[in-house]
């Protein structure tokens, strides 16, 4: 398969132009800039907050310099706290065409939209000349998340993703699983899979932090829809979520924005560090997908039993439906019917291989269902993280 070669040597499977609003006050203008180009790989992302936050800055920087992104246009109102000058400098330093337009300086909505359209047209011409290169499985980073889980998720879609992960990792790819709040109870099992002795206590601490966080909030990650879908306990949900990780050794722990520099299996810690300040750690599946992308994921595998229609900006989402009844209702939004396992029409191994084949097809340019439908969701909120320690990453 062919990939887009970036100046830092990373390889992308898409050649996206990102239009980035740096405060909610610039959201409408940025959206109007994107609208005429929405079918030309121009995607809208952004951060709604007015006050600066290092997590949000890091997320936006990592998304704008993701290997699937070829150019970025920052859209600022002008008085927000986001450090647009530093961000613009970092994007340009990565070799990508980038610019910033400031609504207060351009003269308002219409003039800023017109300037944005002019810039996008020029950027698309530049990106048409982006060099391509051969890509292999070992060049890929694949993330996974589950949303709208039900009683079928842990016995069909999630373990099938685990099978695909094991095959990808054996061929040198990076694979990232997350949702530490939905792994409570599985920490000892994960620690036993640590690739190095010093990583095991870090895995335990990671899930213990999530448990303390949810205790302080007075609720956990078990949603009403999970119960309606037949899940009975947090432990059942945790084991189902855990299945997505497969059986490979766990090589490290990431925090949002950390990009693994080699293949292997990584746990993404999504729960903020320090005292509880920000409310629920991930307000939606879209935010979790964004954090996986900020860690370099070229593609996200999204499993669902209840059903979901979301996709993502920047990186394609492959939706894997766990429940055959849900698949029949929402087949236009799904890529793979893992519910075949439940009905005896396929084995876990066969669906795992189907997921693997779909990853290669999407990496080679095939559209996912959510891409074809125009889904480009993005969500970034306030969080706070400390850097990972040396025990969390391979030497």
Which CATH code fits 2-133? 3.40.50.2300
Residue with tokens 């189902």: 240
User: pLDDT (tens digit, 9 = 90+) per residue, 120-163?
Assistant: 999 999 999 999 999 999 999 999 998 877 778 888 999 999 99
Which range, 121-130, 178-187, 274-283, is most confident? 121-130
- Report the pLDDT value the prediction gives residue 218, as an integer from 0 to 100: 80
Q: Which of 86-90, 217-221, 230-234, 238-242 has the lowest average pLDDT? A: 230-234
Instruction: Confirm if 384 and 55 have CB atoms less than 8 A apart.
Output: yes
- Report the pLDDT value the prediction gives residue 96, as an integer from 0 to 100: 97
DSSP-derived pairing of the beta strands 141-146 and 174-177: parallel
CA separation for the pair 315, 317 (Å, rounded): 7
User: pLDDT (tens digit, 9 = 90+) per residue, 9-41?
Assistant: 999 999 999 999 999 999 999 999 999 999 999
User: pLDDT (tens digit, 9 = 90+) per residue, 309-331?
Assistant: 999 999 999 999 999 999 999 99
Q: If you ran DSSP here, which 8-state letter would residue 300 be given? A: E
Q: Could you tell me which of 183, 191, 182, 171 has the C-alpha nearest to residue 249?
A: 191
Q: Could you tell me which of 145, 117, 269 has the C-alpha nearest to residue 206?
A: 269
CA separation for the pair 108, 130 (Å, rounded): 33
User: Is pLDDT above 80 for 45?
Assistant: yes
Q: Could you tell me which of 367, 242, 231 has the C-alpha nearest to residue 305?
A: 231
- Report the pLDDT value the prediction gives residue 227, as an integer from 0 to 100: 47
**Mean pLDDT computed over 253-257:** 97
Q: Please, which residues have CB within 8 angstroms of residue 195's CB and are 6 or more apart in sequence?
A: 249, 250, 251, 252, 264, 394
Domain boundaries, the chain: 2-133, 137-392
Write the DSSP string, 123-141.
HHHHHTT--EEE--GGG-E
User: pLDDT (tens digit, 9 = 90+) per residue, 55-96?
Assistant: 999 999 999 999 999 999 999 999 999 999 999 999 999 999
């Amino acid at each position: 398969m062919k990939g887009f070669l970036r100046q830092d040597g990373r390889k992308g499977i898409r050649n996206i132009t990102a239009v980035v609003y740096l405060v909610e006050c610039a959201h409408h203008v940025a959206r109007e800039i994107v609208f005429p180009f929405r079918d030309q790989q121009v995607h809208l992302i952004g951060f709604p907050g007015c006050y600066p936050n290092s997590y949000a800055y890091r997320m936006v920087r990592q998304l704008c310099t993701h290997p699937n992104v070829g150019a970025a246009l920052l859209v600022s109102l002008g008085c927000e706290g986001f450090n647009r000058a530093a961000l613009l400098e970092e994007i340009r330093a990565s070799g990508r065409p980038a610019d910033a337009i400031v609504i207060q300086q351009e003269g308002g909505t219409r003039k800023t939209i017109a300037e944005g359209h002019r810039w996008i047209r020029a950027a698309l011409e530049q990106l048409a000349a982006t060099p391509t290169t051969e890509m292999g499985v070992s060049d890929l980073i694949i993330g996974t998340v589950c949303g709208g889980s039900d009683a079928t998720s842990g016995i069909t879609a999630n373990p099938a993703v685990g099978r695909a992960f094991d095959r990808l990792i054996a061929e040198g790819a990076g694979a990232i699983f997350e949702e530490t709040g939905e792994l409570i109870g599985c920490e000892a099992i994960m620690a036993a899979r640590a690739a190095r002795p010093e990583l095991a206590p870090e895995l335990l601490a990671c899930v213990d932090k999530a448990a303390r966080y949810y205790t302080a909030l007075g609720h956990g990650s078990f949603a009403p829809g999970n119960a309606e879908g037949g899940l009975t306990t947090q432990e059942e949900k945790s084991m189902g979520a855990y299945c997505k990780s497969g059986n490979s050794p766990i090589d490290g722990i990431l925090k949002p924005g950390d990009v693994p520099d080699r293949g292997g299996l990584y746990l993404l810690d999504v729960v903020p560090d320090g005292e509880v300040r920000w409310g629920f750690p991930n307000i939606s599946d879209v935010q979790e997908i964004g954090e996986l992308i900020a860690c370099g994921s070229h593609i996200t595998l999204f499993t669902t039993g209840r059903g979901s229609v979301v996709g993502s900006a920047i990186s394609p989402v492959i939706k894997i439906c766990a429940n055959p009844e849900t698949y029949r209702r929402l087949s236009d939004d799904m890529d793979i019917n893992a519910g075949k396992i439940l009905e005896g029409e396929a084995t876990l191994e066969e669906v795992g291989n189907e997921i693997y084949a779909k990853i290669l097809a999407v990496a080679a340019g095939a559209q996912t269902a959510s891409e074809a439908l125009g889904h480009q969701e993005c969500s970034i909120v306030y969080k706070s993280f400390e850097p990972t320690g040396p025990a969390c990453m391979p030497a």
